[in-house]
């Protein structure tokens, strides 16, 4: 087998592990696990039982416990939640300041409301970088099912080179230079998946879900364009593509949060029992904050926050949206 790049994946959660399985067909993959015990378990069993149980990892994938143990890479893939992005970037800035990097997290940083590329610009501006994002459940990628995603970077040539390098028979990768649009689509669809989870959990029907998805797309587009994105990006994989997947696919953790809230489970218990990150929970407040600063109306996002904060019962949430005055579409 011919190996292309030496790739270090930072974060051996569900998504980092699934991407490592896919890319191991063409590249030499190292996974940074949570700790030494997690790395040892992955290396012994060739399975990541903590985050992606039931999927065999190719023997060639090696897990280690620290970035310093795998700093000699051609490419870094940051696969932590947004909450781990800044610290990962700081480590890379120190250990491998010129090595290209990609992130795959979807959200806005809690406390700063920054998009991932804005965090990267702050702490690690020296390396070529971008986001890999789009409609892609880890479970299906790990099974080798066909998936299409987008590699977006402000540097169009870098996006094309990386798309070519990572592209494979079960993962089609399109290049795009609308980094803002790609990141906004990925961040806000998680909030809307909580909304459709609530609606479906309450049994409000397919009409209500289609309304939430469509009006949600209008919300994403208004927000993204105000931040400098191109509106057509939201008609692509990272916009409507990921929105449909996450709002309707039962593999979505954010959708599952909505379902559990609809059944009356408190948020704290829902997130604890999930065992994985649900980025829509922290992102909702950051999106609303940024939208308010921009003067953008995001009623579905606002309603999701009211439910997350316990100020609005899930059973009243969709009714409240329906009760808004008639307006032009």
Ligand X SMILES: O=C(CO)COP(=O)(O)O
Which residues are known binding-site members for NADPH?
A: 15, 51, 106, 138, 253, 277, 279
With CB cut-offs between 5 and 8 Å by kind, which of ligand NAI, ligand X, none does residue 245 bind? Answer: ligand X
The token pair that represents 65 in the structure block = 């416990």
Could you say whether residue 137 binds ligand X (CB under 6 A)? yes
- 236 phi/psi in degrees, rounded to 5: -105, -165
Catalytic residue among 38, 189, 256, 285: 189
Q: Please tell me whether residue 244 binds ligand NAI under the rule CB under 6 A.
A: no
Report the nearest approach of ligand NAI to the CB of residue 105 (Å): 3
CA distance 325 to 310: 24
When asked if residue 11 is in the footprint of ligand NAI (CB under 6 A), the reply is: yes
Task: Name the region of 113 (left: φ>0; alpha: ψ -120 to 50; beta: rest).
Answer: left
168 or 249, CB closer to ligand X?
249
The closest residue (CB) to ligand NAI is: 13
* Residue 212 Cβ vs ligand X, minimum distance, rounded to whole Å: 15
The angle at the Cα of 190, spanning 184 to 192, to the nearest 5 degrees, equals: 100
Q: Is 148 in the site for ligand NAI (CB under 6 A)?
A: no
Tokens of residue 134, six digits? 């789009």
Active site residue 6: no
Q: Does 158 bind ligand X (CB under 6 A)?
A: no
| Interaction of residue 246 with ligand X, rule CB under 6 A | yes
Of 13, 116, 135, 216, which lies in the binding site for ligand X, with binding defined by CB under 6 A?
135
Q: Select from ligand X, ligand NAI, none the partner in contact with residue 12, using the beta carbon and a kind-dependent cut-off of 5 to 8 Å.
A: ligand NAI
* 168 contacts 25 by C-beta, under 8 angstroms: yes
Binding residues for sn-glycerol 3-phosphate, as ranges, are 106, 134, 136, 189, 242, 252-254
Residue 105, contacted partner among ligand X, ligand NAI, none, CB below 5-8 A by kind: ligand NAI
CB 216 within 8 A of CB 246: no
Quick one: CA torsion of 165, 182, 30, 5, rounded to 10 degrees?
Answer: 20
Radius of gyration of the chain (CA): 19
Please identify, using beta-carbon distances, which residue of 122 and 250 lies nearer to ligand X: 250
Question: Among 212, 153, 155, which Cα is nearest to 182's?
Answer: 153
Instruction: Give the pairing type, strands 101-103 and 75-78.
Output: parallel
Select from 10-18, 62-70, 198-206, 232-240 the region that touches ligand NAI (CB under 6 A).
10-18
Q: 253, 255, 219, 256: which is closest to 239 by C-alpha?
A: 219
Residues of this chain that interact with ligand X (CB under 6 A) are 106, 135-137, 190, 193, 242, 245-246, 252-254, 279
Q: Please identify every residue annotated as catalytic.
A: 189
């Amino acid at each position: 087998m011919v190996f292309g790049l030496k790739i270090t994946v930072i974060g051996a959660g569900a998504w980092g592990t699934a991407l490592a399985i896919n890319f191991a067909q063409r590249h030499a993959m190292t996974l940074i696990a949570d700790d030494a015990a997690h790395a040892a378990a992955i290396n012994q069993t060739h399975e990541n039982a903590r985050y992606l149980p039931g999927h065999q990892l190719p023997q060639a994938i090696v897990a280690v416990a620290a970035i310093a143990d795998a700093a000699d890479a051609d490419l870094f893939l940051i696969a932590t939640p947004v909450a781990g992005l800044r610290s990962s970037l700081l480590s890379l800035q120190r250990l491998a300041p010129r090595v290209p990097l990609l992130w795959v997290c979807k959200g806005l940083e809690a406390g700063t409301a920054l998009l991932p590329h804005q965090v990267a610009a702050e702490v690690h501006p020296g390396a070529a970088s971008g986001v890999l994002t789009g409609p892609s459940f880890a479970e299906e990628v790990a099974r080798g099912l066909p998936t299409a995603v987008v590699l977006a970077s402000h540097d169009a040539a870098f996006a094309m080179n990386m798309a070519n390098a990572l592209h494979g028979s079960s993962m089609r990768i399109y290049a795009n230079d609308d980094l803002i649009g790609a990141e906004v689509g990925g961040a806000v669809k998680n909030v809307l998946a909580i909304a459709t989870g609530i609606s479906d959990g309450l049994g409000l029907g397919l009409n209500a879900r289609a309304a939430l998805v469509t009006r949600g797309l209008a919300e994403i587009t208004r927000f993204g364009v105000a931040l400098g994105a191109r509106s057509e990006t939201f008609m692509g994989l990272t916009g409507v593509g990921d929105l449909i997947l996450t709002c309707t696919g039962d593999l979505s953790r954010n959708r599952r949060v909505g379902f559990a809230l609809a059944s009356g489970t408190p948020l704290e218990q829902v997130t604890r029992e999930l065992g994985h990150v649900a980025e829509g929970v922290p992102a909702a407040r950051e999106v609303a904050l940024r939208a308010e600063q921009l003067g953008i109306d995001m009623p579905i996002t606002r309603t999701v926050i009211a439910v997350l904060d316990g100020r609005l019962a899930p059973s009243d949430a969709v009714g409240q949206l329906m009760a808004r005055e008639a307006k032009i579409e």
